[in-house]
């Protein structure tokens, strides 16, 4: 890992929160993915199961976390399982965690090797009544693809058919949505690194540079600040490319007079940041570009004011769409007739704002959490309205990350240039 060691209290606190939600005499089993093959003998870049990270902080392949708070043997009420260090494997892949190192990361005192598991797990399950099994229940998941997590679920249910099985994901959806102070501190590191990358490219961008050169500058700044990687595919979309929501080609030259939409975020300590800024390639917004940008910013700030405990994300989205109608009317993209003829489930603004207002943020960039239940203190959301105009070959999106507090929210990117004046000033500092 590139990032500095995190406080193991983060993961100890997370496990305590999960255990409080378990039924009596229950065992919970979480297992990380193996390395996945790509082509030939190559492997995809490894990223561990998010729930295993949340519970332990360990990112090594095939790691397992087992929680059995009612285990008669107190030494095995929480157990971390890791690969046994292997001299030949380490010659090829590098260092594997020792038991002592795994304890230092996770705070779990009992660490055993995976090849010792079967006999122990057999006895534990026989004494337990309920078994919590982990599965990926992110609402955005493509369920048409065969899944590794379900292979283990099916195998265990075949071996122990008379136990009562529970979905760990139901608990995780509630717990992971509410970030502890330890988690927010790590997320702020990811945000701060992302901020540095934006300031770097503001000084770098000028007519004639290529989108991929901007991506390279961002990557450089991420790595020099110990980010693990990009939190998601970096979007560097100049001109009309900005209307493509997940544009990742990043291979076009940036032209004088165009805007460039940049959507990127650092991953630090396995937590994500998620930023979008739209800036002028030549450092100066035209009158029309400023007009559209300010309309988008007005919706962004409207949604931020609504974000607080008690309302739902769907409430904020619905109100923000009405505000977007007003802003688009003001800049001549909608007419009063357009708004009059709209329906509640298909607002007039959807012609120019055709994606969601934002999402939960955490270990996953599209983190788990609900959209139709009241927002709670501790949640972290992105707010990212956009305006996309085919006729003008223009796309503008503005996105910051917000930590929900008792009475409102904190903008984690509050020091970041966001107005047209602030962006122009940042771009002058070449």
Domain limit, last residue, from 177, 207, 227: 177
| 113 shares a domain with 58 | yes
Three-state DSSP class for residue 302: helix
Q: Is the pTM of this model over 0.85?
A: yes
Domain limit, last residue, from 177, 192, 212: 177
Q: What is the pLDDT of residue 231?
A: 97
What's 362's domain CATH number? 3.90.230.10
Give the contacts of 88 (CB within 8 A, at least 6 positions apart).
none
Q: What is the pLDDT of residue 42?
A: 82
| 219 shares a domain with 164 | no
Instruction: Tell which phi-psi region holds residue 270, choosing left (phi > 0), alpha (psi between -120 and 50) or beta.
Output: left
CB count, 10 Å around CB of 45?
8
How far from 45 is each of 34, 124, 229, 246, 309, CA to CA, in Å?
11, 34, 10, 21, 37
Q: What is the pLDDT of residue 282?
A: 98
DSSP letters of 7-46? PTHHHHHHHHHHHHHSPTTEEEEEE---PPB-STT-BPPP
Number of structural domains in the chain: 2
Residue 3 belongs to a domain: no
Q: What is the pLDDT of residue 430?
A: 64
Tokens of residue 244, six digits: 């493509």
| 154 shares a domain with 229 | no
Q: What is the pLDDT of residue 93?
A: 85
Q: Are 112 and 79 in contact (CB under 8 A)?
A: yes
Per-10-residue mean pLDDT for the chain, 430 residues long? 94 98 98 84 85 97 97 97 90 92 98 93 95 90 83 94 97 97 98 98 98 98 97 97 96 98 98 98 98 98 98 98 98 97 94 97 96 96 98 97 97 97 92
| 170 shares a domain with 289 | no
Residue 309 belongs to a domain: yes
Which residue pairs from 414-418 have beta carbons closer than 8 angstroms and sit at least 24 positions apart in sequence?
A: 415/195, 416/195, 416/198, 416/275, 416/277, 417/198, 417/202, 417/277, 418/277, 418/297
| 209 shares a domain with 142 | no
Residue 130 belongs to a domain: yes
Residue 390 belongs to a domain: yes
Residue 4 belongs to a domain: no
Q: What is the pLDDT of residue 98?
A: 96
Residue 252 belongs to a domain: yes
Domain housing 138: 9-177
Residue 234 belongs to a domain: yes
CA-nearest of 268, 273, 218, 292 to 411 is 273
Three-state DSSP class for residue 91: helix
| 146 shares a domain with 29 | yes
| 345 shares a domain with 241 | yes
| 139 shares a domain with 44 | yes
Domain limit, last residue, from 177, 195, 229: 177
| 205 shares a domain with 166 | no
Q: What is the pLDDT of residue 388?
A: 98
| 244 shares a domain with 209 | yes
What's 87's domain CATH number? 3.40.350.10
Q: What is the pLDDT of residue 137?
A: 86
Instruction: Give the integer Cα–Cα distance in Å for 19 and 168.
Output: 11
| 285 shares a domain with 340 | yes
For the four alpha carbons of 292, 298, 303 and 308, in that order, the dihedral sign comes to positive
Residue 2 belongs to a domain: no
| 390 shares a domain with 301 | yes
């Amino acid at each position: 890992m590139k990032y500095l060691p995190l406080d193991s209290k983060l993961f100890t606190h997370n496990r305590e929160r999960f255990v409080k939600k378990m039924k009596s005499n229950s065992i919970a089993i979480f297992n990380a993915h193996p390395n996945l093959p790509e082509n030939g003998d190559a492997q995809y870049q490894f990223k561990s199961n998010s729930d295993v990270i949340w519970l332990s902080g360990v990112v090594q392949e095939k790691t397992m976390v087992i929680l059995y708070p009612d285990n008669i043997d107190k030494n095995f009420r929480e157990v971390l399982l890791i690969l046994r260090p292997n001299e030949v494997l380490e010659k090829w892949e590098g260092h594997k965690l020792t038991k002592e190192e795994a304890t230092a990361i996770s705070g779990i005192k009992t660490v055993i090797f995976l090849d010792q598991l079967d006999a122990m797990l057999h006895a534990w399950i026989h004494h337990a009544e309920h078994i919590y099994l982990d599965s990926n229940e992110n609402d955005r998941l493509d369920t048409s693809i065969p899944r590794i997590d379900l292979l283990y679920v099916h195998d265990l249910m075949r071996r122990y058919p008379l136990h009562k099985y529970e979905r760990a994901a139901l608990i995780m959806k509630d717990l992971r949505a509410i970030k502890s102070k330890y988690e927010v501190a790590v997320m702020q590191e990811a945000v701060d690194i992302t901020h540095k990358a934006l300031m770097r490219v503001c000084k770098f961008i000028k007519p004639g540079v290529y989108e991929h050169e901007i991506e390279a500058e961002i990557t450089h700044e991420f790595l020099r600040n110990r980010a693990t990687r990009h939190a998601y595919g970096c979007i560097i979309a100049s001109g009309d490319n900005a209307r493509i929501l997940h544009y990742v080609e990043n291979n076009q030259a940036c032209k004088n007079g165009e805007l460039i939409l940049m959507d990127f975020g650092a991953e630090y300590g396995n937590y994500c940041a998620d930023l979008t800024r739209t800036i002028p390639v030549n450092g100066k917004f035209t009158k029309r570009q400023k007009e559209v940008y300010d309309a988008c910013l007005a919706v962004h700030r409207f949604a931020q004011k609504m974000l607080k405990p008690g309302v739902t994300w769907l409430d904020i989205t619905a109100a923000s769409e009405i505000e977007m109608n007003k802003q688009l009317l003001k800049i001549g993209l909608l007419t009063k007739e357009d708004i009059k003829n709209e329906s509640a489930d298909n607002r007039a603004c959807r012609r120019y704002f055709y994606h969601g207002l934002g999402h939960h943020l955490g270990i996953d960039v599209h983190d788990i959490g609900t959209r139709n239940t009241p927002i709670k203190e501790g949640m972290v959301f992105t707010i990212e309205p956009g305006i996309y105009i085919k006729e003008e070959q223009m796309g503008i999106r503005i996105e910051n990350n917000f930590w929900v507090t008792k009475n409102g929210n904190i903008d984690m990117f509050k020091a970041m240039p966001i107005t047209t004046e602030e962006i122009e000033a940042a771009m002058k500092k070449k």
